[in-house]
């Protein structure tokens, strides 16, 4: 009986194929072509040369915009360094930055259109600032005070900025990937001119949400740009322990989409790859997976000490590839930035950070109690109203709260 069923299936599907489509005849194993060679099929695309020169025909960024992005990269770096100091001083509780990865973050974000949503991982504070998040409000998020746009509902460094189409940062690994695909799919159904950009680290490619998101996007040709920040480390797990694949870009093949591999410390290369990916998505050609090869030069976060698992000599070669130094050399090569300009720009960025920090720290230290359930439902449920009243009573009865009110 089993043999008869099998023969009927073969007759219906033809050589064991699915859905009525005959499977192609395969050559014997010995005659099949050799497996692909990722290092050749996915070469590392670079625009900036070591001396700062570049093929100007490949540049699609106006000079003024390029200088503006350089200034934002410097601000991002100085901000990260300052916030690490503040965490060590106990003035903020936690910080996770992007030192060494600024070109990947800002090059990708700059290539998207204003109407595109950005779905960040957790190092993309520079992209939020690029989209107009005021620096002072970003610092309020770190403090969780009354100026926090997240009303103290989120962890520090988990900002969102709806006005700039910057979705909330989430700690769970890779959850933002299917969210971005869903946004792209919705935009396509509604006919909206919007292509989401989603960032994730190379460690996220081991998560099930990576497969879920890319598989759906590949099958449905969803307009979305996937940016994998391959910084070499998923906290303490090196890239070599994350995947047996030679590159992360080649994973695109398995989902039937285009894959690109670029120098993630080269802002011009990242910008160009993202610009083209966005154009293809907008034209209905589906998603692109871009692997940006960069390096995490510091710890995973202020809760991590990389000296426990990473030899210092591994970092040194990457310091010579610092994305800020490389773009600075390019701007100097084109006569767009002098040493004096650079010094003034850095001084201005430092002053901006200090002023924003003073403003943020001057605000009341906590959001109002009334904001506790704000944004959870359109209207609070009776249970939430009841809990809020209980909380008010508890705070009023607490002598510590009374002392804080007296101190202003």
SS3 200: strand
Active-site position among 309, 319, 358, 392:
309
What span, in angstroms and rounded, lies between the C-alpha atoms of 381 and 337?
57
The interaxial angle of helices 63-88 and 102-110, nearest 10 deg, is 140
Active site residue 309: yes
Strands (DSSP E) along 144-206, which ranges?
A: 197-201
Which contiguous run of DSSP H or E holds residue 323?
Answer: helix 323-333
Rg of the Cα trace of the chain? 25
What span, in angstroms and rounded, lies between the C-alpha atoms of 271 and 283?
18
Tokens of 82: 């300052």
Q: What is the DSSP letter of 222?
A: -
Strand partners for 204: none
What span, in angstroms and rounded, lies between the C-alpha atoms of 171 and 94?
13
What span, in angstroms and rounded, lies between the C-alpha atoms of 323 and 327?
6
Strands (DSSP E) along 173-316, which ranges?
A: 197-201, 225-230, 233-234, 237-238, 258-263, 288-293
Active-site position among 275, 296, 326, 330:
296
Tokens of 81: 């360094």
What span, in angstroms and rounded, lies between the C-alpha atoms of 137 and 140?
5
The interaxial angle of helices 102-110 and 267-282, nearest 10 deg, is 40
The answer to whether the beta carbons of residues 159 and 150 sit under 8 Å apart is yes
Active site residue 300: yes
What span, in angstroms and rounded, lies between the C-alpha atoms of 129 and 205?
27
- For 374, phi then psi, to 5°, come to -65, 130
Buried b (16+ CB within 10 A) or exposed e, 14-23: eeeeeeeeee
Active site residue 122: no
SS3 119: strand
**Cα dihedral value 81, 85, 90, 93, nearest 10:** 20
SS3 199: strand
Q: How many residues does the chain have?
A: 408
Number of H-type helices and E-type strands within the chain: 15, 7
**What residues are labeled active site?**
296, 300, 309
């Amino acid at each position: 009986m089993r043999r008869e069923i099998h023969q009927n299936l073969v007759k219906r599907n033809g050589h064991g194929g699915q859905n009525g489509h005959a499977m192609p005849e395969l050559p014997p194993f010995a005659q099949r072509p050799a497996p692909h060679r990722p290092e050749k099929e996915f070469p590392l695309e670079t625009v900036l040369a070591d001396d700062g020169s570049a093929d100007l025909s490949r540049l699609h960024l106006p000079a003024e915009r390029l200088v503006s992005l350089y200034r934002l990269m410097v601000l991002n770096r100085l901000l990260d360094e300052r916030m690490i100091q503040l965490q060590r001083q106990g003035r903020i509780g936690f910080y996770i930055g992007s030192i060494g990865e600024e070109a990947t973050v800002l090059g990708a974000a700059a290539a998207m259109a204003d109407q595109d949503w950005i779905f960040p991982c957790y190092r993309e504070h520079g992209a939020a600032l690029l989209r107009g998040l005021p620096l002072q409000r970003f610092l309020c998020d770190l403090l969780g005070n009354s100026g926090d746009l997240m009303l103290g509902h989120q962890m520090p460094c988990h900002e969102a900025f709806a006005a700039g189409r910057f979705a909330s940062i989430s700690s769970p690994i890779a959850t933002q990937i299917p969210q971005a695909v869903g946004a792209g799919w919705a935009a396509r159904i509604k006919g909206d001119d919007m292509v989401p950009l989603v960032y994730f680290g190379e460690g996220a490619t081991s998560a099930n949400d990576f497969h879920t998101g890319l598989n759906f996007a590949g099958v449905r040709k969803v307009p979305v740009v996937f940016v994998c920040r391959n910084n070499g480390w998923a906290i303490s797990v090196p890239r070599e322990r994350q995947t047996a694949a030679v590159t992360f870009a080649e994973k695109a093949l398995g989902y039937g989409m285009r894959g690109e591999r670029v120098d993630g410390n080269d802002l011009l290369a990242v910008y160009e790859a993202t610009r083209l990916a966005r154009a293809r998505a907008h034209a209905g050609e589906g998603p692109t997976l871009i692997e940006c090869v960069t390096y995490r030069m510091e710890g995973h976060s202020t809760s991590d000490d990389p000296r426990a698992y990473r030899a210092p000599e591994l970092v040194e070669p990457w310091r010579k590839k610092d994305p800020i130094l490389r773009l600075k050399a390019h701007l100097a090569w084109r006569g767009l930035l002098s040493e004096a300009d650079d010094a003034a720009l850095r001084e201005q960025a430092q002053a901006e950070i200090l002023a924003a920090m003073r403003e943020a720290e001057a605000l009341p230290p906590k959001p109002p109690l009334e904001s506790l359930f704000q944004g959870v439902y359109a209207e609070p449920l009776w249970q939430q109203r009841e809990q809020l009243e209980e909380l008010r009573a508890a705070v009023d009865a607490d002598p510590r709260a009374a002392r804080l009110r007296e101190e202003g």
